[in-house]
Amino acid sequence: MMPDLGKYAVEVLSAYAVSLLLLAVLVLWTLRRGRTARATLDAAEKEAGRHG
């Protein structure tokens, strides 16, 4: 149940919304970049293997 935030509801909710959004973007971007790096390394290792 939503707590009573009184006259500061907009401030409190916007602070939580912007912070959680930024944290979510950071985590998702980090995971996505990690997956891309793994794929890049796999491709580079295969390429290096072909060249002996």
Partner 1 sequence: MSIWSYANPVKFLTLSARVQPVLWVLSMACVATGLIWGFFGTPQDYRQGATVKIIYLHVPAALMAINAWFMMLVASLIWLIRRHHVSALAAKAAAPVGVVMTVIALLTGAIWGQPMWGTWWAWDPRLTSFLILFLFYLGYIALWEAIEDPDTAADLTSVLCLVGSVFAVLSRYAVQFWNQGLHQGTSVPVATGGRSVDDVFFYPLVICMIGFGLLFVALVFYRTGTEIRLRRAAALRARAGRAA
Judged by the rule CB under 8 A, the positions of this chain that interact with partner 1 are 1, 3-9, 11-12, 14-16, 18-19, 22-23, 25-27, 30-31, 33-34, 37-38, 40-41, 43-45, 47-48, 51-52
Q: Least separation, in Å, of the C-beta of 5 and partner 1?
A: 4
CA gap 22, 20 in Å, rounded: 5
Q: Least separation, in Å, of the C-beta of 49 and partner 1?
A: 9
Cα 9–12–14 angle (5° rounding)? 100
